[in-house]
Amino acid sequence: MKTRALLVAAALVAFTGSAALAESIQHGNLTIKDAWTRATPPKAKGGGAFVTITNNGNEDARLTGAVSNYAKRTEIHEMAVNDGVMKMRKLDEGVVIPAGETLELKPGSYHVMFMGLNQPFKMGEELNVTLEFEKAGPVDVTFPVMKMGAKSGKMHH
C-alpha cells in the first residue's frame, strides 16, 4: 500500500516535471526543445524566453529572429554579466548554431526578448512564438510560462 502510494507520488512528480516542458520539435535538421518563459510582474514591459536548439545537420544553422503578438517587438538578444555589469544587446545577425552543436538560450545568456509587453505573462499560460531560421525557415514553438523569477523551465528546484 505504502509502496503504491510512493509510486503514484513518484509518477506524479515525474509527470508534472516533464509536463512543464514542451515536447521537442523536429524542424529540418534542428531539434528544438525545453522552451520556457517566466511570468512577468504587472506593468513590466520586458520579458525573456528560453529554448534549446540542436543542429543535427552538417551545415551551420542560424537563428535569425522571432515573431510574436505579445509585445511591440520580439527579438533575439544576448546578455552577459562581466565585471559585475549586466549588458544586453540585440543580435542583428542572429545566432549561429554550428553543425552538430547545441545552442542554449538561457538565463544569463542568449534569449528571445519581448520589448514592450502588451500584457503580463501569467504562470501556467503558454506563449506561441515563431522562431525564424536562415535556411530551415520559420517554426512555431510553445513556451510554457513558469513562475516569476524562475531559473529554469523545470517545475522542481
Q: Show the binding pattern over residues 90-129: x = contacts other proteins (CB under 8 A), - = does not.
A: x----------------xx--x-xxxx-------------
Strands 110-117 and 102-105 turn out to be: unpaired
Q: How far is the CB of 3 from other proteins (least distance, A)?
A: 34
Q: How far is the CB of 111 from other proteins (least distance, A)?
A: 6
Among 16, 23, 24, 151, binds other proteins (CB under 8 A): 151
Among 6, 9, 14, 73, binds other proteins (CB under 8 A): 73
Closest-CA residue to 47 (of 114, 107, 105): 114
Q: For residue 81, state whether it binds other proteins (rule: CB under 8 A).
A: yes
Name which of 29 and 75 has its Cβ closer to other proteins. 75
Residues in region 19-58 near other proteins by CB under 8 A: 38, 40-48
Binding footprint of other proteins on the chain (CB under 8 A): 38, 40-48, 72-73, 77, 79, 81, 84-90, 107-108, 111, 113-116, 148-151
